[in-house]
């Protein structure tokens, strides 16, 4: 099961991390929530294969450390989501459907 496309209405906004909105629940290190709004990454299912980061034409993503998370010790953060051009490549290339891009959430 991939990221909830309605996370912004189904989950509570619990703050920001590195300037990126975070949607709960968050209980580190096992539960890290969804990071981002327009470009959102579900940290709880992200396996950090890096395809989105390597293929994004406008460099939306950066690596962040997530020590002791059961899926991976790093995640891709949509640090520069405001630069997103809505090409949807990250959504299409993510092997676990952990990313959602929604133009209405700008």
Annotated binding site for [3Fe-4S] cluster: 46, 52, 94
Annotated binding residues for [4Fe-4S] cluster, as ranges? 56, 84, 87, 90
Bridge partners for 17 per DSSP: 20
Check if the beta carbon of residue 78 is closer than 8 Å to that of residue 20.
yes
Q: In what order do the strands lie in the sheet with 99-101?
A: 13-17, 20-23, 34-35, 39-42, 99-101
Measuring CA to CA, which residue among 13, 69, 19 is closest to residue 46?
69
Binding site for Zn(2+), by residue number, is: 35
Binding site: which residues? 35, 46, 52, 56, 84, 87, 90, 94
Are residues 88 and 59 in contact, defined by beta-carbon separation less than 8 angstroms?
no
């Amino acid at each position: 099961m991939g990221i909830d496309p309605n996370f912004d209405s189904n989950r509570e906004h619990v703050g920001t991390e590195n300037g990126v909105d975070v949607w709960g629940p968050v209980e580190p290190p096992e539960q890290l929530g969804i990071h981002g709004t327009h470009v959102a990454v579900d940290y709880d299912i992200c396996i950090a294969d890096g395809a989105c980061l390597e293929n994004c034409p406008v460099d939306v993503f950066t690596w962040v450390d997530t020590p002791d998370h059961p899926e991976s010790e790093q995640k891709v953060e949509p640090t520069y989501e405001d630069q997103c051009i809505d090409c949807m490549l990250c959504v299409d290339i993510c092997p676990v459907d952990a990313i959602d891009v929604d133009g209405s959430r700008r």
